[in-house]
C-alpha cells in the first residue's frame, strides 16, 4: 500500500514535517486506523490545550482535564472496548509561549510517547504527528 506512512515506524511521536494532515487522514482511513486530530492554535494555557484535545478527540464529559486523564483516555478505555486497528494522531500548532512553555510541551508529548509505548506493547500501531505554533 502506498501511503505517507509506509516509511514511518508504527509506534512513534514525531514532527509532522513534510506530511500534510489530509494525507495522514487518508492514510489512516486506507489502513482502517482511527484518526484523531486537534488544532491547538487558539490555546493559551495547559488547561486550554487539554480542553481542546478533549473536545476535538470527543473524550467523555467526565475527562479530568489533566495529563494523567489524557493518558488514561488515550489508552485504557480504548483498550477495554476491544481490539484496536491502530491510530494516527495529529496535534497541530501546539502553542509555544510563556503560558505553555517548553516543559509543558514536552510533558504533553511525553503523554503521547507513553501512549505509543502502551499500544506498542499490545502490537497496535500508534503514530502521533505534531507541529508547534
The string of pLDDT tens digits covering residues 105-116 is: 999 999 999 999
Which CATH number is associated with domain 11-132?
A: 3.30.370.10
Predicted TM-score (pTM) of this structure = 0.93
Between CA 118 and CA 101 the distance in angstroms is: 26
Here the cell at position 13 is 511521536
Contact between residue 11 and residue 125 where contact means Cβ atoms under 8 Å apart: yes
Q: Tell me if 65 sits within 8 A of 83, measured CB to CB.
A: no
Q: Report the candidate in 6, 42, 2, 13 with the shortest Cα–Cα distance to residue 127.
A: 13
CA distance from start to end of the chain: 32
Query: Helix crossing, 46-56 with 102-121: angle to 10°?
Result: 40
pLDDT in tens, 62-91: 888 899 999 999 998 666 777 889 999 999
Domains of the chain, residue spans:
11-132
Cell 492554535 sits on residue = 41
Amino acid at each position: 500500500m502506498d501511503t505517507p506512512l509506509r516509511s514511518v515506524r508504527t509506534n512513534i511521536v514525531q514532527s509532522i514535517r513534510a506530511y500534510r494532515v489530509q494525507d495522514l487522514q487518508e492514510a489512516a482511513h486506507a489502513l482502517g486506523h482511527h484518526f484523531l486530530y486537534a488544532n491547538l492554535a487558539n490555546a493559551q494555557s495547559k488547561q486550554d490545550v487539554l480542553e481542546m484535545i478533549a473536545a476535538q478527540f470527543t473524550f467523555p464529559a467526565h475527562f479530568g482535564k489533566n495529563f494523567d486523564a489524557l493518558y488514561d483516555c488515550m489508552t485504557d478505555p480504548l483498550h477495554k472496548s476491544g481490539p484496536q486497528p491502530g491510530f494516527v494522531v495529529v496535534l497541530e500548532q501546539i502553542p509555544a509561549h510563556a503560558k505553555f512553555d517548553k516543559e509543558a510541551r514536552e510533558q504533553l508529548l511525553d503523554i503521547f510517547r507513553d501512549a505509543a509505548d502502551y499500544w506498542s506493547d499490545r502490537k497496535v500501531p500508534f503514530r502521533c504527528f505534531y507541529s508547534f505554533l
